[in-house]
Structure 1
Amino acid sequence: MIRSSLLSASLCVLTACASLQPQQVTDTSAQMVLPDAYDYADELSGIRAAEQIWWQGFNTAQLNALVGQALIANQNLAQGVANVEASRAELKVTNAAFLPQASGSLSASSDTDGGLDDVSSSSRLSASYQLDLFGANEASRQSSIASLDAAIFSLRALELTVQSDVSSTYFNLLATREQLRVARQNLEISERIFEIVEVRYRAGSISGFDVSSQRASLANARARIPQLEAQVTSFETSLAILLGQTPQGYEAVDEDILNITLPDIAPGLPSDLMLRRPDLMQAEANLRGANANINAARAAFFPSIDLGTGLSTLLSGGNLVGSFSAGLSQTIFSGGRFKGQLEGAEARREAQLAGYRQSILMALRDVDVSLNAIETGRVREAQLLIARDAALEALDAAELRYKAGEDDLTSLLSAQQTFFDASNSYVQGRLDRLIAAIDLYVALGGGYR
């Protein structure tokens, strides 16, 4: 009779409180008005094919192999995978709240009466289940799901970072190697000019001033080479670490950076970013988690209900006893703790919302800046190539005029410096275009998932 009254009272309280169940918080306020197109995209920008392996657009087998190796061995990625597994485990813990909890116990006792021992033992199995009428467990589960999604998208963002870091480091390495070749070519030119100067000096055609000037120019040309060699080592060791290798003894493959294909990238529509950029999807998952935390904080205002059942067996007598119970608990006074928790959850949700919107704005900016960099880089590189070729012609002419005694050394050295600078600038211009293409791929989220 007591059990029946307790259960009836619990059900009455549940009925009275059910209408007070908190409403689920939604993300409707997170909506933003997106532009129809990018400012620096062409008329075909809305058409974009699936491109998951985006780095293949550069058409270099060496880069393909490097990125593939990094995706397997990079240690930052290994750490990200472990974080995802930790989030999966946390979700399993949360899901356990939806299942009954069972426990068992075994006890034994001994009575002595007139020298005879009477030994008896008993066992007990019990199970309990917490009803989730007010959504506390479900809110916790949704928060764990959002955390897992955020960890997965964080891992995708990390993969994209590793892919872009490998690509940009490799291209910087190739550019530095090319600039090293330019520096060595410039050293050969300086040595050739010095030989001409010495011949003319011994012939009495010029003073010792030209010899000293060219000796200084030759020393400067030699000094540039170890500096560039140090930069090559820096990029090469950085690449080794990205590949999960020790930097000692690593030597990256070489190819001509000026022959690498510049991909033609169609950015698609601005609205596509919401489904392509992992950082935006991570921010959206964090926002869902913040909403779930609000629901969990609201559910704390409502009572918790536990249903339990037990089964006991007295082994000595074979008696079987069963029981059923229902319990209702409600905090009467918390000193404002629940209210503070709810207000904190709501404030954190607003912070997540603002961060989500800011991420969208920055993503839109990243794409347009990269598109503009690609176009301006194309125009700039074309002019840099013209400047390099013209500087080479001017250098050849200046060298012939100096040999013939028709011009002074200052004009020849100026022509040499102009050619050296133009050659370096052309290499840098090609590197800038390649990096701009990588930046655009990253701004677009790499590829479809």
Structure 2
Amino acid sequence: MKRSLYHNLTKWKNSKERKPLILKGARQVGKTWLLTNFGNSEFSAVHYINFEKEKRFHSLFKESLDPDAIISTLEIMLVVKIDIYRDFLIFDEIQECPEALTSLKYFNEEIPTLAIGCAGSHMGMMLSLSSFPVGKVDFLTLYPFNFEEYLNVKRSDLIQFLNKSSKLERIPEAIHELLLEELKNYYIVGGMPEAVEIFIKKGGKGLETYEAVRSIHYKLIEGIQSDFAKHSGKWNAAHIARVWEDIPQQISRVNDKSVSRFQFKGVIPNKSKFSQFEGPIDWLIKTGLAIPVYLIEQPAIPLKSRSRKNMVKLYLFDIGLMNTMAGIPYESILKQDYGSYKGYMAENYVAQELISEGVKELFFWQGKTSKIEFLLGVKDNIIPVEVKSGSRTRARSLEVYQKKYTPPVSIVISAKNVAKTGKQIYIPLYNSGKVSQISKNYY
């Protein structure tokens, strides 16, 4: 189960300015597995503490934030010797012990040679705390398996063709169709490690395999929902749940052309203003469960300065969980027969790929009768990206945008093979994760 972020962890380990690492990411995306696997491969020894399961460690950090005292006591509690030059110390579910989070500041200042990796599913909610060690930690974010990571596990022999496509080299049509078939599987399975693992173990096809994947999805969704009450803080857990559960229906309506952003009315009884939804939406975004895409009506660099926070589309963080929550039969996905969800599925997938690639924030443009799914800030220009779920690539909205703003290059993502015509680049859906890179290289 190779993860692309392993490379980033290696760079972190070898950095002369290394600080304690906080690995962010939604629940069950594989943070603990990745840190443990990395530690076992790259260090002499790994020392693991889970603050959720092992409450006995809390008192240690409440009594003292002195790194030397903490290490000495940990050695006694764990019955090990901790080598501050060669070992890796993992603090899992660190959000459960705020004092441990605070201690990272002192570890960074007093024992910088000790490599510390921390994981937590709700770290986004901790950043605003006064005790957070601002400037004293490094961050990385782990997402569900993107399509390339999935392919690396399922059909690694096809990766070479993704690389060719990234260079705008047309690939054989038979291979192109194979990749589109694997993309259908990815739409069903998604990128949650447990779902990917069971899919591979059961052979990657067949009724029993898809049913096993859906069972995993139901379990993961239940676990996520149980977190709402436990970690919602001052926000109403029921309101968070209502917004979360409504996202698939919201975006299917967006692609049905009746609305173009999140509609608040009817989601929570007697609430219809953005200010009444801002807390639950912010919670879902900060915990990594939702991907926001903000409206821009007048594109300009920097994009964020032109965005409207109260005009937002929300996508789910995993395409597989989205399809399960929406109740779309996997048979329909394999046949590409899923009505108004077809466009949403492609958009949700592309949003995931862009975020996984490293795009920090996503934006969309809307005119009077036109809409561009994504705008990317590349160098000092804005690149429009239109998403098509099928192979028909006539992009009327893109034509409107091009006429109005004359971008240096435009991107159409579709089921069509890679191509370049003038200032327009056609990228196959399965290579959506390379859009930003391609945009930088080809204008």
Q: Name the TM tier (shorter chain).
A: under 0.3
**Which structure features the higher share of strand residues?**
2
TM-score using structure 2 length: 0.18
Q: Report 1 or 2 for greater relative contact order, CA contacts < 8 Å, sequence distance ≥ 6.
A: 1
TM-score using structure 1 length: 0.18
**Which structure features the higher share of helix residues?**
1
